[in-house]
Structure 1
Amino acid sequence: MTTYTAPTKDMQFVLHDTLGVAAQDVPGYADLDRDFTGAILDAAGQLATDVLHPLNAVGDREGCRLENGVVRTPTGFREAFDQVREGGWTALDADEAYGGQGLPYVMQTAVGEILSSANMAFNMYQGLTHGAYSAIHVHGTEAQKAKWLPKMVSCEWTGTMNLTEPHAGTDLGMMRTKAVPQEDGTYRITGQKIFISAGDHDMAENIVHLVLAKIQGGPEGIKGVSLFIVPKRLVDEDGNVGERNGVSVGKIEEKMGIHGNSTCVMNYDEAEGYLLGQEHKGMRAMFTMMNEARLGVGLQGYAQAEVAYQNALAYALDRLQGRDVTGTKNPDGPADPLIVHPDIRRNLMDQKSFVEGARAFTFWGASMIDRAHRNDDKAADGLISLLTPIIKGFLTDKGYESATNAQQVYGGHGYIEEWGMSQFVRDARIAMIYEGANGVQALDLVGRKLAQDGGKHVMAFFEMVKAFCKEHGEDEAMRGIVEPLKDASKDLQAAGMYFMQEGMKNPNAALSGSYDFMHLFGHVCLGLMWGRMAKASLDALAQDGADRDFHEAKVATARYYMARQLPATKMHLGRIRTGAETVMALDSTAF
């Protein structure tokens, strides 16, 4: 049986010591003092430990089942979902006009990490609802918002996003789902969607599906896609839920992980739908959901790594195996604990340095979303647009790797289901695939985001790193932090220059190196986060009354990341510079 304790102390350190949220000029941030954020995180942690995490293994073991057209969730999920609703956890950053609490998105993100670590499959039900809420909130008419949002905010009604079809994954322009306009202004939606997370369940009165479809007679390809609100049950003008719409579940997919979440094949048979946003502009509205979802999926990656690390650390401290080569550490026992061995330390430090760096990176990203939305800050909006594929791609790749490293600490027990580590690995794996597979994230980064707005956002990032290194370059305590970060940033710039020089002549030269570039960029982002965290802890250590153990551990972990992880940038740069020749050398028939 695994355990989980919310890392609230580290979250508070990121929010206040590293990001300084309460001092930022973002509306609503002045209220985020330590006591306020601490109370929220502690309460979320209690819910996670006492209610959600004990159901994690239950959901994995039982899964969901389809009975008479209705999906039944695992034992205890309905009661837990009631507690989440009653506690207001579904409404943290939602608009107060629709029953939300109006908190900044950074707090939604912090709480989201806790709930996702505790029970990823369960938290997806409300997480997908939040994405659908956001799309309607941004693109809906006033009447649509008044009709749908209050009960979605409370999760009395949940939401989904319906993109993928059996023959069309990432290439949404190939979709066949059609929308036929009616005289009353509604549409009849017909088609099939697959891989629909939380597509049906027994925990809410209604489910509001957001469905991509093509209006007959519209443009070909992606330019002809529109987005529609298609409820499971029809709702009258007074908000009363009525008869079943033409929406049904074809089957529940049998998956590698996240068994507690119902991944459904959804069939639409002339279902009544309502246009969301403009005709043929569905991707604009859908990306409101997808950009938010991609940060949330990056969060899932490191959240699974966090809970896996917690359990691996506990095992390494408790499990007796072998003797320390430098001298016995547990003379009263038959062996020393695993944690005395250097390779176990390396493994745990890899996990710890990744998780804590990823947390800071994600919280920083969430704060940029707040700045973009609440301050109408175009620079912040451009920077988070650039970094979103890195948050999604790099953090889920490394999160899965970290979860498998945690499993490795257990030795043979890690491969046995009853110890729980297998579930963390299996659950983490999907995050590398959905919301745009990580190869697509890398292509988006190199093919679109680098050149966005004339490349000014990536240049702004380079200047940010340069300014940090210049400001702290003469600080002796920061020397082992600044120099590796400076070198890694030069590697990133060199890779970008290679793309500019070679990519125009041979696009494959850039695209062949896109995955390595995403990881190179990710390491520099975590390096910057570790630089900021190291500086915050060094400043704290200079004050009386500092929590010396905490801050000294933070500085030591920063130095570890710089010494042991950041050199990977040179490997990625070396691969990028080989171009496309070796990648594309084989004819497709020779594989």
Structure 2
Amino acid sequence: MTFRAPVRELAFAMKTAGFDAVLEKGYADTDFETVAAVLEAAGDLSNEVLAPLNRVGDTVGAKYANGRVTAAPGFAEAYKQFAQGGWTGLVAEPEFGGQGLPKAVELAVFEMVQSANMAFALCPMLSLASIEALTRHGTERQQKYVLPKLISGEWTGAMVLTEPQAGTDLAALTTVAKPDGEGGYRLYGQKIFITWGDHDMADNIVHLVIARTPDAPPGVKGISLFLTSQKLIDENGNLGARNDFRPISIEHKMGIHGSPTCVMHYDGAQAELVGELNNGLAHMFVMMNAARLEVGVQGVAIAERAFQQALAFSQERVQGKPLWSNGGTGIYGHPDVRRTLLLAKAKTEAARGICLMTGVVADLAKVAPTAEERAGALARQELLTPIAKAWSTDVGVEIASSALQVHGGMGYIEETGAAQYYRDARIPPIYEGTNGIQAIDLSGRKLKMTNGATMRELCAEILLTAEALTESAELAPVGRRLALGVQALEKATDWQLANQGPNSLLGATTYLKLAGDVIGGWFLARQALAADGADAPWLKAKASLARIFASQVLTQAPGLAEAVMEPLPEMAEIAPEALAG
């Protein structure tokens, strides 16, 4: 099935997310017509170049042999087009060769790229995280010679964190960086799960590696961040001989086969410090937080791709006699199939909205005119980031599964492609901090940073929208259910803040789902209000999607709040042998 980049949906969603305020407050020289042209160009690239390679990425995939990784057929040529188009440098600072556009634009562009070919998109996505880290913490040399090459796409970047014994618990890492006596370091150790850690698509690959020096303090306080280059970079920025690190294998994964996940071995690789010694954890989180939001966008992207195929299949597949004839003769006319697809569409748009709203406040945290506005935007960005990552990727899995279900028996036949989306979608909830970790971060850290004030301010805004909805007979039921959702979220928030510890962590995942449901419903309600009076069928449908989400999702909010607030002490008491059967 041919993929169609949702350009008009993204443009409308950006405006609904408040993007006009970003242009007004910080990008006076950029108008929305320019942004729309960027989206159109990204849509063309996604449709014509990247989407046709998605299948070969899955069926052939990346290959490893003799210490080298070869990208899937066609990927290297596509990457050259991607780099020449300047897509890696959309947000990067102009002084280093970037275009200086808002973050929300990058998120919209990369949603289309991820939808078209998620495995391919992971390569430049990790370059984005490396660019952000070096812009914030890079040395003068790194910003002069490395940063512009990453921004241009001539080189790519990789985040190198995980070890066999050190996943979430980075304090357990053992990779060591030994001073070389000349101001640099030599890296020794092994890292796993390194996405695009090696390939043949670019001239050079830069690894940002966390390690500890021999005399570093124990635990996370002894972690530092180092830059090591696949090819040595001389004092003039020229590339030289191969450095002393290499892949020793790539993982055989359930999905995203076109993205090589490397086991990397460092055997005295020349490296240089990034930022401050023993402050690598803070520097690493610059990369991690950038990547987490991009991974949330992956959830939206795979949901969009799976939904598009399922919708097309539902109009082509004839089974039984449809009860609703306005879907033609296909299974789209069966009530449960239509319910499945409409709910999938609503959740996809809700997830898109959460990610774009996070991008908008990230932009406002940089460009808002007053310190108070910037601080408020940053606090909301930090609150929304774990929700955007976890809720959106969970939605990606759910919709990929629903789309496969719509295909029936054809769904688990690999030739239809529906199974690939499900396999691909199941991975983002795990990497860049599992969704359970995101829930703990929201409940145990982000809420406490302002003692709940940021969430309460958000709830107050949502209630204003709920009140506005009551002025429309068509949307009043959405307003009532949205208000009940806010009440449930406020109750659960108060309970979480008052019960920090094991009980709050027990309810953290449910709390994050509740927050995502309410915020997602809010975005759909805003879209319905913005589309009120429109004649175009796709805009008129916004009210229907808001009502469907309110009916099928927001009605569950009070029950989710009860689940958050019920400690269930027996969970702490049940030993594993009691479950062994």
Common fold by TM > 0.5 = yes
Deviations 1:525-566 (A, max 9, x none): 10110121111011xx1xxxx433122111111111111111
C-alpha distance in structure 1 between counterparts of 2:312 and 2:475, whole Å? 31
Which residue in the other structure is 2:133 paired with? 135
Deviations 1:80-106 (A, max 9, x none): 111111111121111111211111111
C-alpha distance in structure 2 between counterparts of 1:359 and 1:328, whole Å? 28
Q: 1:30 to 1:553 in 2, by over 3 A?
A: farther
Which residue in the other structure is 2:333 paired with? 340
Question: Equivalent residues in 2 for 1:40-51 (5 A)?
Answer: 40-51=38-49
C-alpha distance in structure 2 between counterparts of 1:329 and 1:68, whole Å? 54
Question: Equivalent residues in 2 for 1:493-532 (5 A)?
Answer: 493-501=490-498, 503-504=499-500, 507-532=501-526
C-alpha distance in structure 2 between counterparts of 1:180 and 1:326, whole Å? 70
Which residue in the other structure is 2:409 paired with? 412
C-alpha distance in structure 2 between counterparts of 1:383 and 1:453, whole Å? 10
Q: In structure 1, which of residues 547, 554, 573 is the aligned counterpart of residue 542 of structure 2? A: 554
C-alpha distance in structure 2 between counterparts of 1:380 and 1:229, whole Å? 31
Question: Equivalent residues in 2 for 1:366-445 (5 A)?
Answer: 366-375=359-368, 377-445=374-442
Further displaced range: 564-573 or 131-140: 564-573
CA contact (8 A) 2:187 2:268 kept: yes
Question: Equivalent residues in 2 for 1:28-107 (5 A)?
Answer: 28=27, 31-33=30-32, 35-107=33-105
Which residue in the other structure is 2:278 paired with? 280
CA contact (8 A) 1:22 1:29 kept: no
C-alpha distance in structure 2 between counterparts of 1:94 and 1:499, whole Å? 38
Q: 1:575 to 1:182 in 2, by over 3 A?
A: same
C-alpha distance in structure 1 between counterparts of 2:134 and 2:568, whole Å? 42
* Structure 2 residue 344 is matched with structure 1 residue 356: no
What letter matches 2:376 in structure 1? A
Which residue in the other structure is 1:460 paired with? 457
What letter matches 2:183 in structure 1? G
Q: How much does 1:438 deviate? A: 0.7
Q: How much does 1:269 deviate? A: 1.1
CA contact (8 A) 1:21 1:30 kept: no
- SS of 1:219's equivalent in the other structure is coil
C-alpha distance in structure 2 between counterparts of 1:182 and 1:102, whole Å? 37
- SS of 1:257's equivalent in the other structure is coil
Q: In structure 2, which of residues 528, 532, 536 is the aligned counterpart of residue 534 of structure 1? A: 528
Q: How much does 1:508 deviate? A: 1.8
Q: 1:79 to 1:570 in 2, by over 3 A?
A: same
CA contact (8 A) 2:179 2:185 kept: yes
C-alpha distance in structure 1 between counterparts of 2:341 and 2:554, whole Å? 17
Q: 1:24 to 1:532 in 2, by over 3 A?
A: farther
Q: How much does 1:475 deviate? A: 4.4
CA contact (8 A) 2:296 2:389 kept: yes
C-alpha distance in structure 2 between counterparts of 1:485 and 1:329, whole Å? 30
Q: 1:174 to 1:29 in 2, by over 3 A?
A: farther
Q: How much does 1:24 deviate? A: 4.7
Further displaced range: 196-205 or 549-558: 549-558
Q: How much does 1:443 deviate? A: 0.9
- SS of 1:373's equivalent in the other structure is helix
* Structure 2 residue 137 is matched with structure 1 residue 149: no
CA contact (8 A) 1:22 1:32 kept: no
Question: Equivalent residues in 2 for 1:107-126 (5 A)?
Answer: 107-126=105-124
Structure 1 residue ranges without an equivalent (≥5) = 331-335
C-alpha distance in structure 1 between counterparts of 2:222 and 2:421, whole Å? 40
Q: In structure 1, which of residues 198, 211, 218 is the aligned counterpart of residue 196 of structure 2? A: 198
Q: 1:553 to 1:471 in 2, by over 3 A?
A: closer
C-alpha distance in structure 1 between counterparts of 2:87 and 2:531, whole Å? 31
Between the aligned residues of both structures, percent identity stands at 40
What letter matches 2:537 in structure 1? D
Q: 1:29 to 1:578 in 2, by over 3 A?
A: farther
C-alpha distance in structure 2 between counterparts of 1:575 and 1:406, whole Å? 29
C-alpha distance in structure 1 between counterparts of 2:268 and 2:327, whole Å? 71
Q: How much does 1:141 deviate? A: 2.0
Question: Equivalent residues in 2 for 1:217-256 (5 A)?
Answer: 217-256=215-254
- SS of 2:186's equivalent in the other structure is strand
CA contact (8 A) 2:23 2:30 kept: no
C-alpha distance in structure 2 between counterparts of 1:494 and 1:256, whole Å? 40
Which residue in the other structure is 1:21 paired with? 20
Which residue in the other structure is 1:333 paired with? none
- SS of 2:99's equivalent in the other structure is coil
RMSD (CA atoms):
1.7
Q: 1:290 to 1:18 in 2, by over 3 A?
A: closer
C-alpha distance in structure 2 between counterparts of 1:521 and 1:328, whole Å? 35
Deviations 1:403-422 (A, max 9, x none): 11011111011100110011
CA contact (8 A) 2:197 2:260 kept: yes
Which residue in the other structure is 1:365 paired with? 358
Structure 2 residue ranges without an equivalent (≥5) = none
Q: 1:20 to 1:133 in 2, by over 3 A?
A: closer
Q: How much does 1:471 deviate? A: 4.5
Deviations 1:348-401 (A, max 9, x none): 011100111111221111111111123361111111101111111111111111
C-alpha distance in structure 2 between counterparts of 1:18 and 1:168, whole Å? 38
- SS of 1:193's equivalent in the other structure is strand
CA contact (8 A) 1:320 1:338 kept: yes
Which residue in the other structure is 2:7 paired with? 8
Q: How much does 1:567 deviate? A: 1.7
**TM-score, scaled relative to structure 2:** 0.96
Q: 1:401 to 1:111 in 2, by over 3 A?
A: same
Further displaced range: 16-25 or 199-208: 16-25
